[in-house]
Amino acid sequence: MAVQESAAQLSMTLKVQEYPTLKVPYETLNKRFRAAQKNIDRETSHVTMVVAELEKTLSGCPAVDSVVSLLDGVVEKLSVLKRKAVESIQAEDESAKLCKRRIEHLKEHSSDQPAAASVWKRKRMDRMMVEHLLRCGYYNTAVKLARQSGIEDLVNIEMFLTAKEVEESLERRETATCLAWCHDNKSRLRKMKTCKKALQPSRREPAGRGAPGHGHAGLPARHAHLPVQAPESGVRLHRLPWFFLLLTLCILSDLLDPARWRMLIQQFRYDNYRLHQLGNNSVFTLTLQAGLSAIKTPQCYKEDGSSKSPDCPVCSRSLNKLAQPLPMAHCANSRLVCKISGDVMNENNPPMMLPNGYVYGYNSLLSIRQDDKVVCPRTKEVFHFSQAEKVYIM
Amino acid sequence: MADCSLDLPGSSNPPSHLGLLRSWDHRRVPPCPALQGTPLSATLSLVMSQCCRKIKDTVQKLASDHKDIHSSVSRVGKAIDRNFDSEICGVVSDAVWDAREQQQQILQMAIVEHLYQQGMLSVAEELCQESTLNVDLDFKQPFLELNRILEALHEQDLGPALEWAVSHRQRLLELNSSLEFKLHRLHFIRLLAGGPAKQLEALSYARHFQPFARLHQREIQVMMGSLVYLRLGLEKSPYCHLLDSSHWAEICETFTRDACSLLGLSVESPLSVSFASGCVALPVLMNIKAVIEQRQCTGVWNHKDELPIEIELGMKCWYHSVFACPILRQQTSDSNPPIKLICGHVISRDALNKLINGGKLKCPYCPMEQNPADGKRIIF
C-alpha cells in the first residue's frame, strides 16, 4: 500500500470515523429495549389485575364456574404476555448481536498479519463508499457493492432505505408515511425540538391534494403536538384548534406549491440525519477532502501540465478537478524526487544540476548516460556528463 | 409462567397439592352444569391463592429483570459517546463540493473509475446507470480485458494471460518484466505435478524456455533438475518448493503490476490512495483544529490555501519534488523559486534577497561569498 498507516494511526482514525457505525445500531437497540420494557410493563399490569381479581373472588366463597372463567382470563393474559415478551426480547437480542458484530469487526483493525490488515482497510473504504452512495440516493449500487464486498452487516442500509420510502412518498405528495415516521420517532424528535414537520404535512391534508384517506379527521389529533414553528413565517402556533388551522390554510394557499414539498423533503433528510446523530456530509467525502489536500502540491496545477506525475492521485483527471478548491499540503521539510526515475534524491542518490538549471538524481543520470553525454529529458538539450554539478539541500 | 390444574370436587382423583407444572388446557370443555353452583373446596382455594401469589411474583421478577438490563444498555451508549467523536469538522467549509453540481458528478465519475480498476464491473455499471453517467468505451476496455485475464488466473487458467503476454512481449521486455517466463514456468510445474504420465508433454513444453535461457538460466536449471524426481513424486523431493501455491498469488500480483505499468496506471486506484491518505490526515487535522480553538488563536490558520500542519504519508507518497527553503521554512513557488548559490547550497529567492548585505551575499552554510546575481535558478 502506498500510504503507511501504523497501528496507532489506525486507532486514531477509528475514533474519528466510526461513530456512525456504532451509534446507529445502538440507537436501534435502545429503542427496542424501551419498547420491550413498555410492552412487558403493560402486559404485567394486565396480568396482575386479573390475578388480583381472582384472589378477591377466592377470598369470598366462590362458585366453581366463576373461578374457572377467571382462570381462563388469567391464562389468556399470561400467554399474551409470553408472546409479546418473546417477540420484543428477540428483537432486542438481534440489535445487540448486530452491535456486537460491528464491534468485533472494528477490533480486527489491529490484526498482526499484514494480509488481514489490508483486507480490513479495503473493507473500510468500501463501507464508507456504501454510506456515501446511500446518501447520494444510489441505493441499488450501494446494496450491490455491500453484497459484493461482504459488508452488509456493517453498514446502515436499513436506515437509509426507510428514509428512501418516506422521501419517495413525499415526492408523490403523500404524507402518510412521513407522519408514521414522525410518530415512530416522536420521543427523540421531541428531544430535538423539531416538530415543525408535524404541522406542515397536516396543513396539506384538508386540501385533499394527493393525500388519500386524510380528511378533517386527521387534524384534531394533530393539535395535541407540542408548540411548533413554521420556518418561513416564523409564526409560533400553540395547540391551535383544527378549524383555525383550516382557516390559516385557506389564507396561506401558496403552501401547496411544489417548492414547499422539496423543502419538506430536505427538512426530513436533515432531521433524519440529526436524529441518528449523523452529519450532513458523508465520512467518505470528508476523508477524501482531507486526503486530497494532504497530497496536493502546486506542481499538480501547473498550466503547461509539464510537472504532472503519472502516480500522483491529484494529477489524475477527475481528482485534479475535484481537488482544485481545496487547500494545499503543508511541507516544512524538503523532499526531492528525481523526474526521470521517481526515486528519492538524498545522500544515496545526490541531486545533480545540469547547466540548464534542471536537477536530476545521480543514479538516473548514470542510467541515461550515453558516450559520456546526457540529454535533459525536459528540454532535450545535450550536455557532457561532467557538466553536472552537485547541489546541497539542507 | 405459572400453570395450575384444577381438581373437580367429587371426582375420583385425589386433590392435588401445588401442581404448578401441570399444564392447564384452557380449551377444555367447561365443567358440567351440575357443578356450576357448587362452592370451591377449601383446599383448592388454598392451592389457587398460592398459584396467584406465584404468578404475581414471577411476572414482577420478569419485569424487574428486564429493567435491570437498562443500566448495561445505557453504559454501551455512554461508552460509544466517550470513545468516538460524534462530529467531524471538515478541512474546508462543508459546502465546497455541494455548491457545484458538477463536483458531485465528477466525484461519482471518480468512484466509477475506481470500481473499474478494482474489478467490480457490475457495481460500476449499476452506478453508471443510476447516476446517468457515460463512461467511454476506450476507458473501460482495458479494464474489462484485465479483469477477464485475472479471473482466469484465479481459476488457474494460464491461457489468456499467456496470450496477452505474447502480444505485449516487446513492451514487457522494455519494462524488464519476466511475466512471460513466469507463466511458462507455472505451466511447466503444473505439468510436472501431473506425475510421470505427463513427462513427455513436460519435456516438449520445456522448449518454450529457450528465449529466456540467457536471463533465467538458474531457474531453468532448477526445473530441469526436478524432472529426475518425477517418478518418485515431487512432494518428497528437494524440489517440493516448486509446488507451493503461493506462486499462483504471486503471478496474479506480477500480472497486475506489469499490466498497470503498461497502461500507465498505478496499481492502486488514485481514489484509494487519496482515501487512505485522508484516513491518516483526518485525525491530525481535527486535533490541530481543536488545539487552535482551545488556545483561541484562530488567526493561525487564516490562509485557507494551505493546511496548517504537515501530514506524514510515507516516502511512497512523494510524487512531486517539494523544496522548502531551510531559512524561511516555506515552500518555494514560481514567484519565489529555489536558487543555487556558487557553493552548491540552495535557498529560496526571498531568503537570498534578505541575506544581501552591501551588494554582497554570504552563504549561510559555508564561508563562501558571492555576487547575488551569480545565483542560478534551479528546477526540480
Segment A10-48, tens digit of pLDDT: 888 999 899 999 999 999 999 999 999 999 999 999 999
**Which run of H or of E encompasses A237?**
strand A236-237
Alpha-carbon distance of A289 to B316, in angstroms, equals 20
Number of A–B residue contacts, CB under 8 Å = 377
pLDDT band for position B9 (cuts 50, 70, 90): very low
Is the distance from CB of A63 to CB of B40 less than 8 angstroms?
Answer: yes
pLDDT band for position A156 (cuts 50, 70, 90): very high
CB contact under 8 A, A61 and B92: no
For B7-66, the DSSP string reads PPTTSSSPPPS--TTSPP-TTSPPPPGGGTTPBPPHHHHHHHHHHHHHHHHHHHHHHHHH
Q: What angle do CA B11, B12, B14 make, to 5 degrees?
A: 100
The model scores a pTM over 0.80: no
pLDDT of residue B195: 73
Residues of B in contact with A75 (CB under 8 A): 3, 24, 26
The cell numbers describing B253, all together, are 500480483
CB contact under 8 A, B107 and A322: yes
What percentage of chain B carries pLDDT values higher than 90? Answer: 11
The string of pLDDT tens digits covering residues B340-353 is 888 888 888 888 88
More confident residue, B20 or B170: B170
CB contact under 8 A, A63 and B38: yes
The cell numbers describing A256, all together, are 401547496
Is the distance from CB of B293 to CB of A307 less than 8 angstroms?
Answer: no
pLDDT band for position A389 (cuts 50, 70, 90): confident
The string of pLDDT tens digits covering residues A95-124 is 999 999 999 999 888 877 777 888 888 899
- Strand partners for A374: A383
A152 touches chain B (CB under 8 A): no
The cell numbers describing B374, all together, are 551569480
The mean pLDDT of B40-52, rounded to a whole number, is: 84
Other C-beta atoms closer than 10 Å to the C-beta of B333 total 12
pLDDT band for position B299 (cuts 50, 70, 90): low
More confident residue, B20 or B54: B54
The string of pLDDT tens digits covering residues A45-94 is 999 999 988 888 888 777 888 888 888 999 999 999 999 999 999 999 99
pLDDT of residue B154: 81
CB contact under 8 A, A19 and B86: yes
pLDDT of residue A246: 52
Q: Looking at the predicted structure, is the pLDDT value of residue A203 above 70?
A: no
Q: List the single residue in B66, B74, B276 with the smallest CB-CB distance to A36.
A: B66
Give the chain A residue whose CA is nearest to the CA of B46.
A58
pLDDT band for position A240 (cuts 50, 70, 90): very low
Q: List the single residue in B80, B122, B285 with the smallest CB-CB distance to A22.
A: B80
The string of pLDDT tens digits covering residues B216-239 is 888 888 888 888 777 777 777 777
Alpha-carbon distance of A249 to A207, in angstroms, equals 9
pLDDT band for position A263 (cuts 50, 70, 90): confident
pLDDT of residue B31: 54
At residue A147, what is the residue type?
R
Alpha-carbon distance of B125 to B106, in angstroms, equals 16
Distance from CA of A2 to the nearest CA of B (A): 5
A103 touches chain B (CB under 8 A): no
CB contact under 8 A, B318 and A337: yes
Closest CA relative to residue B252, chosen from B190, B160, B316: B160
Q: Looking at the predicted structure, is the pLDDT value of residue A205 above 70?
A: no
Q: How far is CA A177 from CA A138, A139, A164, A212, A263, in A?
A: 21, 19, 11, 12, 17
CB contact under 8 A, B321 and A335: yes
Interface with A, mutate which of B20, B83, B91, B328 (most A CBs under 10 A): B91
Alpha-carbon distance of B346 to A392, in angstroms, equals 6
Interface with B, mutate which of A24, A72, A289 (most B CBs under 10 A): A289
pLDDT of residue A304: 74
Q: Looking at the predicted structure, is the pLDDT value of residue A340 above 80?
A: yes
For B288-327, the DSSP string reads HHHHHHHTT-GGGG--TTB-SS-----GGG--S-B-B-TT
Residues of A in contact with B270 (CB under 8 A): 313-314, 316, 319
Closest CA relative to residue A272, chosen from A102, A19, A27: A27
pLDDT band for position B7 (cuts 50, 70, 90): very low
Closest CA relative to residue A160, chosen from A138, A179, A177: A138
Q: What angle do CA A341, A343, A344 make, to 5 degrees?
A: 145
Q: List the single residue in A64, A121, A136 with the smallest CB-CB distance to B40.
A: A64
Residues of A in contact with B314 (CB under 8 A): 2-4
Q: List the single residue in A33, A288, A299 with the smallest CB-CB distance to B278.
A: A288
pLDDT band for position A217 (cuts 50, 70, 90): very low
Q: List the single residue in B96, B103, B307 with the smallest CB-CB distance to A329.
A: B307
Interface pTM, i.e. ipTM: 0.81
Q: List the single residue in A44, A280, A321 with the smallest CB-CB distance to B63.
A: A44
Closest CA relative to residue A352, chosen from B380, B316, B376, B332: B380
| A335 phi and psi angles, rounded to 5 deg | -145, 125
Q: List the single residue in B286, B307, B333 with the smallest CB-CB distance to A294.
A: B307
For A277-327, the DSSP string reads T--SS-HHHHHHHHHHHHH--GGGG-TT-TT--SS-GGGSHHHHHHTTTSP
Alpha-carbon distance of B116 to B150, in angstroms, equals 13
Q: What is the C-alpha R_g of chain A?
A: 33
CB contact under 8 A, A287 and B36: no
For B186-204, the DSSP string reads HHHHHHHHT-GGGHHHHHH
Distance from CA of A381 to the nearest CA of B (A): 15
The cell numbers describing A254, all together, are 401558496
pLDDT band for position A229 (cuts 50, 70, 90): very low
Is the distance from CB of B273 to CB of B317 less than 8 angstroms?
Answer: yes
More confident residue, B222 or A235: B222
Alpha-carbon distance of B234 to A253, in angstroms, equals 88
pLDDT of residue B17: 29
Alpha-carbon distance of B171 to A117, in angstroms, equals 34
Interface with A, mutate which of B120, B273, B377 (most A CBs under 10 A): B273
CB contact under 8 A, A148 and B123: yes
pLDDT band for position B246 (cuts 50, 70, 90): confident
Query: For the domain with range B324-377, which CATH number is right: 3.30.40.10, 3.40.50.720, 2.40.10.10, 3.40.640.10?
Result: 3.30.40.10
pLDDT band for position A245 (cuts 50, 70, 90): low
CB contact under 8 A, A3 and B277: yes
Distance from CA of B114 to the nearest CA of A (A): 11
Q: List the single residue in A2, A30, A291 with the smallest CB-CB distance to B268.
A: A2
A277 touches chain B (CB under 8 A): yes
CB contact under 8 A, A9 and B280: yes
